[in-house]
Chain A
Amino acid sequence: MASFAVVTLLVVVSLWLYAVKRRPGELDAARARRIQNRWIIGGGLILPISSMALLLVFGIPIGYRMLPLPVAGQQVLQIEVTGHQWWWQVRYPEADIELRNELHIPAGQPVDLQLTSNDVIHAFWVPRLGGKLDMLPGRTNVLRLQADQPGTYHGQCAEFCGTGHAHMKFTVHAHAPDDFAAWLEGADRDE
């Protein structure tokens, strides 16, 4: 996508530069009209419409996969994340675990995060795991997240939420499924 954009930019700019330098001979009206239609229809209609079509062909399936559609034959783990000025409250409703500024998930499986806020609008974002979603007071948004590899990922608040915004961070620990089950047990016992 980026390279396509760069190429388009270069082509358009060089065309302009050439057009500026060019010294056309006398043009009769009909010829000028042909040139005009060629550029406007070619560049103004065909170019953007075809690039849009291309973008959509790639874009729609990606978007489709990010939908929190029911997964066949599998219970998706539900985690509640609530934004506060300026920290994250994480709850596992089934295991009754509550955490602060950290999130543990099984790697290789989708999880659904129930996002909401206790005060102002925040936004949940782990750059390396995918898109962001706003956390709004009074509403719950569901974000489907999946970490393919176990590891530690950094997340932060992406919607401006006041003086502590820059420091409103959290970490995501993705465990291999077995480790995750063990962690759940352990965390449960600690309570």
Chain B
Amino acid sequence: MSDQQQNRARLHREYDRVWGNWPGWGALAAVNHTSVGLRFIVTGLVFFLIGGVLSMLMRTQLALPEQDIIGPELYNQLFTMHGTLMMFLFAIPVLEGVAMYLIPKMIGARDLPFPRVGAMGYYCYLFGGLIILSSMALSIAPDSGWFMYTPLSSSTYSPGPGSDFWLLGITFVEISSVSGAIELLVAIMRTRSNGMSLTRMPIFCWYIMVMALMIIVGFPPLILASILLELERAAGFVFFEVAGGGDPLLWQHLFWLFGHPEVYISFLPAAGIVSTLLPVFAQRPIVGYRWLVLAVITMGFISFGLWVHHMFTVGIPQLAQAFFSLASMLVAIPTAIQIFAWLATLWTGRVVWSLPMLWILGFLIIFVAGGLTGVMLALVPFNWQVHDTHFVVAHMHYVLVGGMLFPLIAGLYYWLPHVSGRMPSELLGRWAFWLVFVGFNMTFLLMHVTGLLGMPRRIYTYQAGLGWDWLNLLSSIGGFVMAMGVGMLIVDLLLHFRFGRLAPRNPWNADTLEWAVDMPVTTYNFISLPDIGSRHPLWDDRQLPERLESGQGGLVEIQADRRVTWGSDAVTGQVREVVHVPSNSWLPLQTGVLLAVVCLGLLTKFYWVALGASLLALLVILRWSWHNGGHPLAAPLRDDDPQDPPLHSRTCDGPGRWGMLSTLLANGSLFACLLFGWFYFWTVSPQWQVPAQAPLSATPLLLAGLLLSAAALLYHRLTVRLCRGQAQGLAGGLWLCTALGLGHSLVILWLMLDAQLTPRSLAHDAVLAVMLGYLLFHGVLATLLTLLQALRVRLGYVGVRLPYEPMVLRPLWSYTLGVFWIALAGFFLMPMAW
């Protein structure tokens, strides 16, 4: 063995020791992005198969008219669960899993910046999914549709626990999606390898960045709506009931404010896969990189302006409908730009034909067809005719299956060698493709016709002789053909792990960095980190993988057994700091389990259990935050700390601050929706009632505001001084902040008790109660975390050389201050002026 090989083997051993998962059950404590990403993907595929089985049951029932195999009760559960599984438990988590797996590798990082958050997200997803599925096994599954329209889903018309399973389980899963999005966003912005400027990022990163931002802004509306509906169901608060001044339409607004962007959230990463694969198979750089960036950003925004197009039949003024109709058509433009940029890439390249390309072609045909019917649906008069018919079912499956599933499978085939080190089988793969493609079109192409003939959605049976019989029969047969194709795909995937031909390194001759890692994949990706000089590092330098593996890149030496990767400037990608990330930890699993207990406690109405578990979860999370920065279990101060660049916990602007800002963006979206709900009620709720006397009194409100302002300003000043290297009075200042924050929280609490709200009979009071609870939560949270900071200063985990954590916390204080005064204006001043 030569010296070089010996050196390489030594490095691998070292890295395995520091970065490896624990053996046996210890693997559950794994936090590295490769393991977590793969877990997301595999779990998501299992949910996909279950959702597929449900759809087969539905197609069996609908194959012939007037069948009685499945009654309406079960059928309603089936279509509700099918939609729920596919949208919430399959599409988003799998795509996030793919992104979590790929992004660090593509940007030349060793891990995501918050690995424990990723792991916790996975457990939230898994447990939430299992809770939802368990309702199916107990045959008390939700049955009001995946859109859960009120009042059908409220306790009067759905008295069973089905809706509760949905609301709690989905909220649980969404926490996972949002945390994953925050992690991906910060990873892309702050942990790119040296020199990877914004414009040198692989195009996939732009797609994921926009997707992550969309999740961060788009999921909170549904989280809020779910919380409100669950409060209505469990505690009798009035939000969506007309009698107390609520409005069922608010649910639809909040749901579609989430629901429409969600379609694009699942399309964008899939389109990102297409944009990554096509240039590789055309063996030329993607055409129109800048156009694509422009299209993706545009799409991310405009897709938020479409939500009302799901509500064209609720009786909104036609002019307002026309706005949304036009916005819906506008989305066709960025889509068309992408389609034609891809076309131009193929046009100017020499295409190597292979299995992933077949799936991409399938994607193109199906997705363009779905997009065209989408433009038709954006036209209001046409929409009135086919809304809620099988035409829409067909359109939606064309868009989602074509726009998400086909590229996903293309991607799976493309990146399979990366995971297994083996190539997929062309023969079985082709069979699977053709079965899925033919089966799909047979099912859904015909469904357009069925819909135009007037067959509504969500009916469990239909009369013979309306002209729908043979169409439905053929649709059902097509469905089974497609199911066979999916089965064959699964068989192919499983067999290839055993029999696949061994893959060479970079088997497709790709240009992106993820192919520079070892195959099969390791948990640390790179022994040394590359310098990036262009958008196609592997086409520029075919020896790059070799060089990185033999330690000729950056950040080779392991110090103090820390897991480290670069932290870089968000725009230029120049290295700014060394980010140290945590290793294996049980905390995510513990948090996940405790949150699941909270969820189950709420479901079974054992509220004390739920409360106890929440407090325990809070303790675990605080412990988690304790093991950070300068704590001995993280990165305690040492004499040989790297200086240039420094460790991120020694700086004032590390990834944590960016994570906090992203979290607050999600939080702000939730707050904005609450505010929207309030104004919505005031203006359009049909029986809005205002109590005769304003429930909040001015003096305590002002007092609370002044205390909070003092705390936030003091905190701001302390951190500014700390970053200038002045730490005198830091501990005392933090204690004072804590005291002020405590005072503020107590005043809010007093206000809540004093106001004598009647949220069970008035929507006005219900919204007010939620808002006060929101303010109280933030006051308490900021106070508690500041208290911990004060303690950490005393223990020496925070100080002049460790200013990181107070800086992470600073935006929370500013945010709390901001929402307080906005709430004051909206909830106290606005009603006075009305």
Contact = CB atoms under 8 A, between A and B. Distances in A.
Interface of A: 1-2, 5, 8-9, 12-13, 15-17, 19-24, 27, 32, 35-36, 38-40, 42-45, 47-49, 51-52, 55-56, 59-60, 62-63, 66-67, 85, 119-121, 123, 125, 127-128, 130-134, 136-139, 141-142, 156-166
Contacts of B350: 23-24
B381 A160 contact: no
Contacts of B137: none
A160 B686 contact: no
B385 interface: yes
A138 B688 CA distance: 11
Contact of A63 (B73, B151, B381): B381
Contacts of A139: 249, 315, 686
Nearest to B291: A40
Contacts of B454: 127-128
A158 B348 contact: no
B339 interface: yes
24 contacts: A19-B346, A20-B351, A35-B344, A36-B348, A38-B344, A40-B337, A44-B339, A48-B336, A55-B375, A56-B329, A59-B325, A66-B384, A67-B318, A120-B149, A120-B151, A125-B388, A131-B381, A133-B313, A134-B313, A136-B248, A160-B145, A160-B149, A163-B72, A166-B461
B379 A59 contact: yes
B379 A162 contact: no
Contacts of A43: 336, 339-340, 343
Given A35-B348, A134-B314, A165 B372 contact: no
Contacts of B357: 20
Contacts of A48: 329, 332-333, 335-336
Contacts of B322: 60, 63
Contacts, number: 211
A158 B364 contact: no
A1 B389 CA distance: 19
A158 B387 CA distance: 8
B72 A137 contact: no
B152 interface: yes
B344 A36 contact: yes
B287 A32 contact: yes
A40 B340 contact: yes
Contacts of B326: 56
Q: Which of B325, B369, B381 has the most CB of A within 10 A?
A: B381
B389 A158 contact: yes
B834 interface: no
A66 B381 contact: yes
Contacts of A142: 315
B9 interface: no
Contacts of B156: 119
B388 A12 contact: no
A12 B368 contact: yes
Contact of A24 (B343, B349, B353, B376): B349
Which of B144, B341, B343 has the most C-beta atoms of chain A within 10 angstroms of its own C-beta? B343
A44 B291 CA distance: 10
Contacts of B461: 166
A22 B145 contact: no
B457 interface: yes
Contacts of A138: 242, 247-248, 686-687
Interface residues of B, number: 75
Contacts of B351: 19-21
B453 to A, nearest CB: 8
A166 B72 contact: yes
Contact of A131 (B76, B151, B313, B365): B313
Contacts of A5: 369, 372-373, 375-376
A13 B346 contact: no
B369 A9 contact: yes
A121 B295 CA distance: 38
A36 to B, nearest CB: 5
A125 B357 CA distance: 44
A17 to B, nearest CB: 8
B770 interface: no
The list of the 10 closest CB pairs from A to B, nearest first, reads: A131-B384, A138-B242, A44-B337, A43-B340, A141-B315, A166-B459, A127-B454, A19-B346, A138-B686, A39-B344
Contact of A59 (B76, B380, B457): B380
A119 B347 contact: no
Contacts of A15: 343
Interface in B342-398: 342-344, 346-351, 353, 357, 361, 364-365, 368-369, 372-373, 375-376, 379-382, 384-385, 387-389
A24 B72 contact: no
A132 B336 CA distance: 31
Nearest to A133: B313
Contacts of A161: 152
A55 to B, nearest CB: 6
A167 to B, nearest CB: 8
Given A9-B369, A23-B350, A132 B341 contact: no
B381 A156 contact: no
Contacts of B388: 123, 125, 132, 158-160
B315 A19 contact: no
A67 B319 CA distance: 11
B200 to A, nearest CB: 18
B157 interface: yes
Given A36-B348, A45-B333, A166 B149 contact: no
Interface in B288-331: 288, 291, 295, 313-315, 318, 322, 325-326, 329-330
Given A43-B339, A119-B156, A162-B144, 17 more contacts: A16-B364, A17-B361, A19-B346, A32-B348, A40-B287, A40-B341, A42-B340, A56-B329, A59-B325, A63-B380, A120-B149, A158-B456, A160-B388, A162-B152, A163-B73, A164-B72, A165-B459
B462 interface: yes
Indicate the member of B72, B344, B686 with the most A CB atoms within 10 Å.
B344
Contacts of A36: 287-288, 341, 344, 348
B471 to A, nearest CB: 15
A125 B459 CA distance: 14
B505 interface: no
A191 B459 CA distance: 35
A49 B344 contact: no
Contact of B365 (A9, A123, A164): A9
B22 to A, nearest CB: 47
A165 B73 CA distance: 11
A122 B347 CA distance: 50
Given A59-B380, A63-B318, A158-B388, A39 B333 contact: no
A157 to B, nearest CB: 8
B332 A52 contact: yes
B458 interface: yes
A110 B318 CA distance: 19
A182 to B, nearest CB: 31
- Point out which of A85, A121, A130 has the most chain B C-beta atoms below 10 A from its C-beta: A121
Contacts of B287: 32, 35-36, 39-40
Given A55-B375, A158-B388, A40 B288 contact: yes
Given A36-B344, A133-B315, A134-B315, A13 B365 contact: yes
Contact of A160 (B247, B339, B347, B458): B458
Given A39-B341, A132-B387, A119 B458 contact: no
A141 B249 CA distance: 13
B144, B335, B454 interface centre (most CB from chain A within 10 Å): B454
Contacts of B314: 134, 136, 141
Nearest to A68: B318
A39 B347 contact: yes
B460 interface: yes
A13 B364 contact: yes
Contacts of A166: 72, 458-462
A12 B337 CA distance: 12
Contacts of A56: 326, 329
A120 B157 contact: yes
